[in-house]
Amino acid sequence: MPKQTACILAPNVEPHTDPSRVIGRRTRYHGDEHRYLRNHDVVIVAVLKDALRVEEHGYLTTDEEIADAGGVGPDDRIEVAPILPKEGRLSFATSDPKATDLEAFASLARHGAGARRRSRNQ
């Protein structure tokens, strides 16, 4: 009987730290929605464009699609895969936190949609 080979299913992205690219970017999760990811390094797999505003959101898997859609915004969710350092790979299980809960996009929470701006008279 031939030897069986296990195939680990995981997102097909190459992790990197280049801030000009989104897909594959390594970042850290700081939110409360997915407690099991808190303070863990994750890799971006896809952008769920406007998923916090509409049910029929876009599922973007390339940097070109993301750029054409206006980049990552505060109403987006980001599909991420946790990094499993002991195994030296990404997890096959993904999660979809809010973009603003990722270190790479935390500034969107301060400048993004839904943020109240003070008038000059206040």
Residue 2 is assigned to a structural domain of this protein: no
SS3 73: coil
Taking only the tens place, the pLDDT of each residue in 62-118 is 999 999 999 999 999 999 999 999 998 899 999 999 999 999 999 998 665 544 433
Give the integer Cα–Cα distance in Å for 31 and 80.
Answer: 13
Residue 44 is assigned to a structural domain of this protein: yes
Q: What is the DSSP letter of 105?
A: G
Residue 20 is assigned to a structural domain of this protein: no
Residue 45 is assigned to a structural domain of this protein: yes
4 neighbors 47 (Cβ within 8 angstroms): no
Residue 93 is assigned to a structural domain of this protein: yes
Q: How many CB atoms lie within 10 A of CB 81?
A: 21
- pTM of the entire structure? 0.81
From residue 61, how far is each of 24, 46, 80, 86, 112 by CA, in Å? 10, 5, 11, 27, 22
Query: What range defines the domain where residue 99 resides?
Result: 26-106
> Per the structure, how many domains does the chain have?
1
Residue 41 is assigned to a structural domain of this protein: yes
Residue 42 is assigned to a structural domain of this protein: yes
Residue 15 is assigned to a structural domain of this protein: no
